[in-house]
Amino acid sequence: MAGGLNIGGKRELLARGLLWSGASFLLSQLPVRDSLLVLNYHRLGNAEDDLFDPGVFSATAEEFDNQIAYLKRRLSLVTLEEALAYIDGTIKEKTRRCRVLMTFDDGYLDNYEIAYPILRSHGVQGVFFLATSMVGSCELPWWDRIAYLVKTARSRRFSLSYPAKLAIDIDKSGLPKSLNAILKSFKQPYNCDPARFVRELAEESKGDDPPRTTRRFLNWDEAREMRIGGMAIGSHTHSHTVLSQLEPDRQYEELSMSRVILKEQLGFEADALAYPVGRKTSFTSRTQILVRDAGYRAAFSSYGGTNVHGKTSPYNVKRTKMMGQSWSRFRVRTAVCRSTGSYWP
């Protein structure tokens, strides 16, 4: 509606109102709700300085440092082992607290160069979920390749036919909205041929071939250093394919191959997985069984929500994506979560 606010804008205004009115302070004084909040980051840095997908930038280095410091003062930052013990009921301490687990997906190089030093300086463990085929790689993952094609498109209006009809008008809709529509189409479970999707996008958009000269992902030596420095490593499958797009045998291969490679390279049995994309449609009930059969103790989604002991499946531990998070909204949401268990608004 012309002149109206989008959802993010309304929530931002609500958060500011709660902060300025003192309501969030009053919430922080109420009894704590026993819960687990898992925050899901991807990249740290400035999206404007990058040629690829801006949607994977979760915070700047300064913002992340401030967030960690704030969480340490007000909530209870926990390790992966403490979080899993809370979920599966093996936890020994019974203190009611709002636990927070910090997680990163994909294993971009900035996770090692920026996130790891900040976490270590605060004495906080981060969990880094690695797609084993991308470790140490210069290759572009599908989301960055799609973003580069759209950003460099010489054809500003075009249509895609697979996996469903999609009309794109970059000049009319704007780059962010157009890119989000294309990525949403790619992530659908019925996109059974991702390579075909990218080929058609390249042909129709007439975008440039992306450069592949710079290493984009942390390598195995850096992952070893992070583990020695107190960080935890988990699986993000082998090739970061959306699991619901695969037949069960291919899903199991992705899950088990990643676990084998992590064992060979890092010398431990990975017992935690993060589903690629992590939406409700990105994995199925069959996927959760396959995750268990492959030897994982838990798996994390990323479509929002918090976790309460006895009411959370270990193969769908909920995470909240961190992106576009203002300082006001971050403080209000953590105050609300502490007393209600809901990360809102």
Same domain, 84 and 114: yes
Give tens-digit pLDDT for 199-216.
Answer: 999 999 999 998 887 899
- Do residues 294 and 277 both lie within one domain? yes
The predicted-structure confidence for 10-38, as pLDDT tens digits, reads as follows: 999 999 999 999 988 888 789 999 999 99
Q: In whole angstroms, what is the distance from residue 251 CA to residue 285 CA? A: 12
Residue 240: partners with Cβ closer than 8 Å, 6 or more residues away: 106, 131, 133, 134, 141, 142, 276
For residues 134 and 151, state if they share a domain: no
List the domain range (segments joined by +) for residue 298. 38-138+219-320
Q: How do residues 153-199 score in pLDDT, each as one tens digit?
A: 999 999 999 999 999 999 999 999 999 999 999 999 999 999 999 99
158 with 75, same domain? Answer: no
Mean predicted lDDT score pLDDT of the chain = 95
Single pTM value for the model: 0.95
Q: Of 112, 104, 338, which Cα lies nearest the Cα of 220?
A: 112
Does 231 fall in a domain?
yes
Q: Do 198 and 252 reside in the same domain of the chain? A: no
Q: How many domains does the chain have?
A: 2
Q: What is the CATH number of the domain that holds 46?
A: 3.20.20.370
Q: Residue 343: what pLDDT?
A: 94
Smallest CA-to-CA distance from 161 within 136, 141, 139, 191 is with 191
How far lies 342's CA from each of 8, 22, 32, 338, in Å? Answer: 17, 18, 12, 8
Neighbour-count burial of 124, counting CB atoms closer than 10 A to its CB (0-12 exposed, 13-18 middle, 19+ buried): buried
Burial of 228 (0-12, 13-18, 19+ CB in 10 A): exposed
Asked whether residue 176 falls in the same domain as residue 300, the answer is no
- Three-state SS letters, 28-81: HCCCCCCEEEEEEECEECCHHHCCCCHHHEEECHHHHHHHHHHHHHHCEECCHH
